[in-house]
Amino acid sequence: MEKQRLQKVLAAMGLGSRRKIENWIAEGAVRVNGQTATLGDQAGPGDIIEMGDRRLQVPDVRPVRRVLIYHKPEGQITANHDPQGRPTVAENLPPIREGRWITVGRLDFNTSGLLLVTNDGELANRLMHPSYGIERTYAVRVFGGLSDEQQKQLLEGVQLEDGPASFKRLADAGGQGQNHWYHVTLHEGRNREVRRMIEAVNGAVSRLIRISYAGVTLPPRLRPGKVQELEPDVQGALAELVGLKAETRQKTLGRHDARRAHKPFKAGQSVRDNKRAQPRRGGGGKSAGPVGHSLKRETTIKPATSRRKGGGAPNRRRGTSR
């Protein structure tokens, strides 16, 4: 690892965005090897960096970039520690030897769904920065549903306390009784934004699930509170989406993670329903092959599907199709 600008080194370590770190440097809050840093300074392997009560050493080798999908349940805080003693996301993340886990965005206490987690601070900051226009899609259940006029308002824009906001897309996702599901997409992640937007048109949110972030979809078989490593090709696509190079060094995925199938999450449809929709054995269907990952910001990333029981994958032992 060669010497790089100080703000880039600290951003990669997950301590903040480059702009925020530049402000800290300008304020004289950062020291390198005992000397107050100035804008333009560089840091490299072995250098000691101090920021307030933090004392860090720049590693000799940049950690291998890793990205996880975490299915956050309701009733957890997106933080490392909570003063009130509530459960946190960090408690369910696996141990990491290289760097530290950084969550990409936040989900509030009562919101569940997809949370991306990485040890690459620069990737996390870019995926969250408004300038990259990264899409977030949510499944939202509204008590009583939304009228055509309410939906039109949400697409054209509503006024919130912190400025105007609008959905880029709003699609009816069905429902039963008084509860109705919608899939909504927006390009920013302000605090409780989806809930506040629907409340602004006199709607009442009864449940909220994030089902996609930057095109990565929530796997239906990933249970709440569980984590899954993102495949290397999808990690590379995420990096390229925000102008970073794909990681060339890879950690080997466990067999269980490598074989896990990914399909877009559908609100109100259980895994059992998804299984019933699959062709039965002997149906002669063919299993889907890997999906490419040449992405745009509005493209859904679908990691390669694994062989399903209901598909037509060959039986290696007998040499016949199931």
Q: Does residue 7 sit in helix, strand or coil?
A: helix
The active-site residue out of 47, 82, 108, 257 is 108
Antiparallel, parallel or unpaired: β 112-118 and 205-213: parallel
DSSP 247: P
What is the C-alpha to C-alpha distance for residues 218 and 212, in angstroms, rounded to an integer? 6
Beta bridge partners of 185: 137, 169
Residue with tokens 């004392």: 55
- DSSP letters, 164-227, are EE--SEEEEEEEETTEEEEEEEES---TTHHHHHHHHTT--EEEEEEEEETTEEPPTTS-TT-E
As given in the structure block, the two tokens for residue 248 are: 């060339």
SS3 sequence of 251-297: CCCCHHHHHCCCCCCCCCCCHHHHHHCCCCCCCCCCCCCCCCCCCCC
Q: What is the 3-state secondary structure (H, E, C) of 83-129?
A: CCCCCEHHHHCCCCCCCCCEEECCCCCCCEEEEEEECCHHHHHHHHC
| Interatomic CA distance for residues 200 and 11, integer angstroms | 36
How far the first Cα of the chain sits from its last, in Å, is 51
273 is catalytic: no
Catalytic residue positions, numbered: 108
